[in-house]
């Protein structure tokens, strides 16, 4: 098989890493890829979100399968263009990708099919309407920009003044871009978050192992939201009974609801859950694998990823093929100093070889590029130091030991990925 992977972050490096381990795979291209992916695939300097450019590339290289990593190509209609040519591709249609591309669309779907989610106060097209609605909501309130905002579109407002400030920035100063033109207000949920991601061919689906992301930049969940500072996976995140509830009350009604609405869904579907006192509720959908969740999930696979994704592309997913290692995994993200705000790039990265010598560790690249014989930083999230081991504690220890071998100027990472889970277990909870 010759496979094209679209994207250039840690999630795509994880996909390339596991696809390359398949004996069926003869060649992998990645567009655009990054400094680490370049060691495992042929990187093509093409913007994955540019549908016409990707179609032209695929015409030239004729991959047997294309796997889409990020949301932008999906929201821009890439898979529709591929299916029109009868090219095998993993990822939902443009219409189905609205689950991530429009929070109002996904909220309406949840409500229409009675899937548990936070109560919506309303969706508004003008700041005046939002200010008026803010007079009759309970604080804290969650404010969401309808469209894609690169992770900056959700704000938990403690009071009216903070809410007004966010709405002003989104709707009057256009700081979030067009994604912020429409605003949704919803009830704030309390509980532990969980990323539940499934793979579906439109008819059958298979859940991937559960993961937990750490969105805030600093330890103790302090500071601004990021794309994700680290993730871990262990089956203990989701006990069997809860898993059954998630499947019967959330996953199945969602897939059936989409099909009933005439929007079949194929690809990865990320369901962001809040485990509340009154049961699991949907926070958000993403039309793709999470990043860094993908790194933690793929570290645990015990199946041939190329075979399974090719099955999805052909509409014949066989869920029993998705076998998982019973162990745990962790991914610690190393970022440029200043991220998610302004940061400098071009810093030389040392210690990558020493880090990968640690048993069970794989360093997955995100914002890196090659500069001569060196690897240098080129983005906010730079590396995802990923480890699999027999227990979560051991996976975290290996990931942190590997992270301590790596250095670049300004490097930052959270020291408490998974600490809450291991702390609870140590306390016998
Ligand atoms: P995003 O990935 O940008 O859609 O942001 C989603 C994040 O916002 C989630 O991971 C939660 O931390 C938070 N969030 C979204 N909706 C709610 C809600 N109703 N209550 C509490 N937190 C929420
Ligand atoms: N890590 C969260 C996301 O990929 O959206």
Percentage of residues in the chain having pLDDT higher than 90: 96
- How confident is the model over 415-428, as a mean pLDDT? 70
Q: Whose atoms come closest to the Cα of 118: which ligand?
A: 1
Asked if the model's pLDDT at residue 428 lies above 90, the reply is no
pLDDT for 425:
43
Determine the Cα–Cα distance for residues 145 and 285; give it in Å rounded to an integer: 14
Fill in the DSSP letter of residue 348: B
- How confident is the model over 314-343, as a mean pLDDT? 97
The string of pLDDT tens digits covering residues 88-110 is 999 999 999 999 999 999 999 99
Q: From atom 4 of ligand 2, which residue's Cα is the shortest distance away?
A: 290
Asked if the model's pLDDT at residue 160 lies above 70, the reply is yes
- How confident is the model over 320-328, as a mean pLDDT? 94
Cis peptide before 225 (omega within 30 of 0): no
What class does CATH assign to 2-92? alpha beta
pLDDT for 423:
62
Asked if the model's pLDDT at residue 426 lies above 80, the reply is no
- Please list the residue range(s) of the chain that carry CATH number 3.40.50.20: 2-92
Q: Which residues of 28-52 are buried (b: 16+ CB within 10 A; e: fewer)?
A: bbbbbbbbbbbebbebbebebbbbe
The string of pLDDT tens digits covering residues 333-376 is 999 999 999 999 999 999 999 999 999 999 999 999 999 999 99
Q: Does domain 126-181 have CATH number 3.30.1490?
A: yes
pLDDT for 210:
98
Listing DSSP states for 87-136 in one string gives --EES--TTTTHHHH-HHHHHHHHHHTT--BPPEEEEESSHHHHHHHHTT
Q: Which residues sit opposite 144 in a β-bridge? A: 154, 184
Q: Which residues sit opposite 42 in a β-bridge? A: 29
- Please list the residue range(s) of the chain that carry CATH number 3.30.1490: 126-181
- The verdict on the CB of residue 293 being under 6 Å from ligand 2 is yes
Q: How far is the CA of 386 from the centre of ligand 1 (A)?
A: 25
Q: Whose atoms come closest to the Cα of 366: which ligand?
A: 2
**Which segment of 146-155, 229-238, 295-304 scores lowest on mean pLDDT?**
146-155
pLDDT for 72:
97
- How confident is the model over 286-290, as a mean pLDDT? 98
User: Ligand 2 pocket test: which of 196, 293, 297, 384 has the largest number of ligand atoms within 8 Å of its C-beta?
Assistant: 293
On average, the pLDDT of the chain sits at 96
The string of pLDDT tens digits covering residues 182-200 is 999 999 999 999 999 999 9
- How confident is the model over 43-72, as a mean pLDDT? 98
Q: How far is the CA of 191 from the centre of ligand 1 (A)?
A: 11
pLDDT for 150:
83
pLDDT for 429:
33
pLDDT band at residue 427 under the 50/70/90 scheme: very low
Q: Whose atoms come closest to the Cα of 69: which ligand?
A: 2
């Amino acid at each position: 098989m010759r496979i094209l992977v679209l994207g250039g972050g840690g999630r795509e490096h994880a996909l390339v890493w596991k696809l390359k381990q398949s004996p069926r795979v003869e060649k992998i291209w990645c567009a655009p890829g990054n400094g680490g992916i370049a060691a495992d695939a042929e990187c093509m300097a093409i913007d994955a979100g540019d549908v016409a450019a990707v179609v032209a590339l695929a015409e030239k290289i004729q991959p047997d399968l294309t796997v889409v990593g990020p949301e932008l190509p999906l929201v821009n209609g890439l898979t529709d263009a591929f299916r029109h040519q009868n090219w095998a591709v993993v990822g939902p249609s443009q219409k189905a990708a609205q689950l991530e591309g429009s929070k109002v669309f996904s909220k309406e779907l949840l409500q229409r099919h009675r899937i548990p989610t936070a109560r919506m106060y309303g969706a508004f097209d003008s700041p005046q309407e939002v200010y008026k609605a803010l007079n009759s909501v309970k604080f804290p309130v969650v404010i969401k920009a309808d469209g894609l905002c690169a992770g900056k579109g959700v704000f938990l407002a403690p009071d009216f003044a903070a809410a007004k400030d966010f709405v002003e920035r989104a709707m009057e100063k256009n700081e979030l871009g067009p994604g912020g033109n429409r605003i949704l207000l919803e009830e704030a949920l309390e509980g532990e978050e969980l990323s539940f991601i499934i793979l579906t061919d439109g008819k059958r689906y298979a859940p991937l192992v559960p993961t937990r992301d750490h969105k805030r930049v600093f330890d103790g969940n302090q500071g601004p939201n990021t794309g994700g500072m680290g993730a871990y996976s262990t089956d203990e995140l989701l006990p069997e009974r809860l898993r059954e509830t998630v499947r019967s009350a959330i996953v199945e009604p969602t897939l059936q609801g989409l099909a009933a609405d005439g929007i079949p869904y194929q690809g990865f579907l990320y369901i962001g859950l809040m485990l509340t006192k009154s049961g699991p509720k949907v926070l958000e959908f993403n039309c793709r694998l999470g990043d860094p969740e993908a790194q933690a999930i793929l570290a645990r696979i015990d199946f041939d990823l190329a075979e399974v994704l090719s099955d999805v592309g052909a509409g014949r997913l066989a869920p029993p093929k998705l076998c998982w290692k019973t162990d745990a995994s962790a991914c610690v993200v190393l970022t440029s100093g200043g991220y998610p705000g302004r940061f400098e790039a071009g810093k030389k990265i040392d210690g990558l070889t020493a880090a990968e010598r640690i048993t069970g560790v794989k360093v997955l690249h995100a914002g890196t590029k090659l500069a001569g014989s060196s690897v240098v930083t080129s983005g906010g999230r730079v590396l995802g130091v990923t480890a699999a081991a027999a227990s979560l504690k051991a996976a975290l220890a290996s990931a942190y030991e590997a992270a301590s071998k790596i250095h670049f100027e300004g490097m930052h990472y959270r020291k408490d990925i998974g600490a809450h889970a291991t702390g609870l277990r140590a306390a016998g909870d």
